[in-house]
Amino acid sequence: MTNTILLQALGAGSGGIMGQVFLFGGIILIMYFFMIRPQQKKQKDAKNFIESIKKGDQVVTIGGIHGKVYALEGETVLIELDKGLKIKVEKSAVSAEFSKKSTGTK
């Protein structure tokens, strides 16, 4: 009689553990689709934008400086702010998000 009670208790306990495993796996899956995947997509888009910068593009730096790309020199960009006024910044300092907004309104 005690053997059947022990077997029933073991069977009920293993089903609870499997339920917890599925719940934990579901939470990880939800976190992936709502947090990790969108962040990876945003990073990929920013990388593609930085690689596609060309002379004449209107850009905005992370610091909020607006200008036009005057020249590209390796990993740096020469930005013309006004006629004769140019600054040199790293490509990574050009903001993809704000540059898209600024070129869309002009």
Could you tell me the pTM of the whole model? 0.62
**Residue 42, both tokens:** 């945003």
Which pLDDT tens digit goes with each residue over 33-50? 999 999 999 999 989 999
CATH number, domain containing residue 100? 2.30.30
Domain hosting 78: range is 55-105
Greater confidence, 11 or 65?
Answer: 65
pLDDT > 50? residue 26: yes
- Alpha carbon distance 96, 46 (integer Å): 6
Judgement on whether residues 64 and 36 belong to the same structural domain of the protein:
no
* Domain end position, chosen among 52, 68, 92: 52
Judgement on whether residues 77 and 91 belong to the same structural domain of the protein:
yes
Helices 37-51 and 96-105 sit at what angle, rounded to 10 degrees? 60
Instruction: Fill in the DSSP letter of residue 35.
Output: I
- Alpha carbon distance 61, 34 (integer Å): 28
Helices (H), the chain: 2-31, 37-51, 96-105
Which pLDDT tens digit goes with each residue over 82-92? 998 999 999 98
- Provide the domain count of the chain: 2
Judgement on whether residues 71 and 36 belong to the same structural domain of the protein:
no
CA nearest to 69, candidates 56, 60, 81, 82: 56
